[in-house]
Structure 1
Amino acid sequence: MRIVVIGATGHIGGYLVPRLIQDGHDVVAITRGNSAPYREDPAWERVERVIADREAEDAAGIFGSRVAELEPDVVVDMICFTPESARQLADSLRGRARQLVHVGTIWTHGTLTEVPAPEDAVKQPWGEYGTQKEAIERLLLAESRRQDGLPVAIVHPGHISGPGWPIITPQGTTDLEVWRTLANGRELLLPGFGLETVHHVHADDVAQLIRLCLEQPDEANGEAFHAVSERALTLRGFAQEAARWFGVDARLRFVPFDEFSASLSEEHRDSAFQHVARSHAMSIEKGRRLLGYAPAYSSLAAVAESVEWLRQAGRLGDGIPPVRFG
Structure 2
Amino acid sequence: MKIIILGGTGLLSASITKMCIAEGKEVLHFNRRNRRPAYDVQTIQGNRYYKGDLEKILNYRPDVVIDMLCFSEKDAELTVDVFANKIEHYVYCSTSCVYTPRISQDWSTEESETKPLTKYGQGKLQAERVFLEAMDKGLFNITIFRPGHIFGRDFLVNNLSFDGIYVLNRLLNNKPVVLTENGERNFQACHVDNVGLAFAKASGLKNTYGKVYNLSGEEEFTWNDIYLIEKELLNSNSQIIYKGTNQILSIDPIYFDFLKTYTKFDWKQSTKKLNSEIIGYSYNIGFETGLIKFISDNEEKIYLCENEKCLYEKILND
Runs of 4+ in 1 over 4 A off after TM superposition: none
Say if 1:90 and 1:74 are closer, same or farther in 2 by CA, change over 3 A.
same
Secondary structure at the residue paired with 2:255?
helix
Amino acid paired to 1:30: F
2-structure distance, mates of 1:269, 1:202: 23
Q: CA deviation at 1:114?
A: 5.8
2:314 maps to none
**Of 175, 194, 200, the match for 2:183:** 194
Secondary structure at the residue paired with 1:29?
strand
1-structure distance, mates of 2:242, 2:10: 36
Retained in 1: the 8 A contact 2:168–2:302? no
Secondary structure at the residue paired with 1:116?
coil
1-structure distance, mates of 2:185, 2:99: 16
Q: CA deviation at 1:245?
A: 0.8
Q: CA deviation at 1:277?
A: 3.2
Within 5 A, what are the aligned runs for 1:121-160? 121-146=112-137, 148-160=138-150
Say if 1:254 and 1:111 are closer, same or farther in 2 by CA, change over 3 A.
same
2:222 maps to 234
Secondary structure at the residue paired with 2:303?
coil
Alignment of 1:51 with 2:41, yes or no, is no
Q: CA deviation at 1:175?
A: 4.7
Alignment of 1:110 with 2:111, yes or no, is no
More moved, 18-27 vs 122-131: 18-27
Retained in 1: the 8 A contact 2:105–2:268? no
Alignment of 1:169 with 2:142, yes or no, is no
Retained in 2: the 8 A contact 1:154–1:224? yes
2-structure distance, mates of 1:192, 1:31: 41
2-structure distance, mates of 1:262, 1:158: 27
1-structure distance, mates of 2:188, 2:151: 10
More moved, 269-278 vs 241-250: 269-278
1:324 maps to none
Secondary structure at the residue paired with 2:304?
coil
Say if 1:141 and 1:238 are closer, same or farther in 2 by CA, change over 3 A.
same
1-structure distance, mates of 2:177, 2:282: 33
Structure 2 gaps of 5+ residues are 306-318
- How far does the alpha carbon of each residue in 1:219-249 deviate from its partner, in whole angstroms, 9 at most, with x for none? 1110111121212431111111111111124
2:247 maps to 259
Retained in 2: the 8 A contact 1:166–1:310? no
Identity across matched positions, percent: 18
Amino acid paired to 1:156: R
- How far does the alpha carbon of each residue in 1:85-143 deviate from its partner, in whole angstroms, 9 at most, with x for none? 11111222121111000111111113145632111111121111011001111221222
**Of 203, 206, 223, the match for 2:192:** 203
2-structure distance, mates of 1:23, 1:194: 40
Amino acid paired to 2:10: G
2-structure distance, mates of 1:307, 1:275: 24
2-structure distance, mates of 1:18, 1:268: 33
Structure 1 gaps of 5+ residues are 319-326
Within 5 A, what are the aligned runs for 1:17-32? 17-32=17-32
Retained in 2: the 8 A contact 1:206–1:227? yes
1:282 maps to 269
2-structure distance, mates of 1:24, 1:176: 34
2-structure distance, mates of 1:225, 1:166: 23
Normalising by structure 2, report the TM-score: 0.87
More moved, 222-231 vs 67-76: 67-76
Amino acid paired to 1:139: V
Alignment of 1:316 with 2:303, yes or no, is yes
Amino acid paired to 2:27: V
1:13 maps to 13
Retained in 2: the 8 A contact 1:200–1:302? no
Secondary structure at the residue paired with 1:288?
helix
Normalising by structure 1, report the TM-score: 0.85
Say if 1:33 and 1:267 are closer, same or farther in 2 by CA, change over 3 A.
farther
2-structure distance, mates of 1:158, 1:125: 14
Q: CA deviation at 1:268?
A: 3.4
C-alpha RMSD of matched pairs (Å) = 2.2
Retained in 2: the 8 A contact 1:176–1:316? no
Amino acid paired to 1:273: K
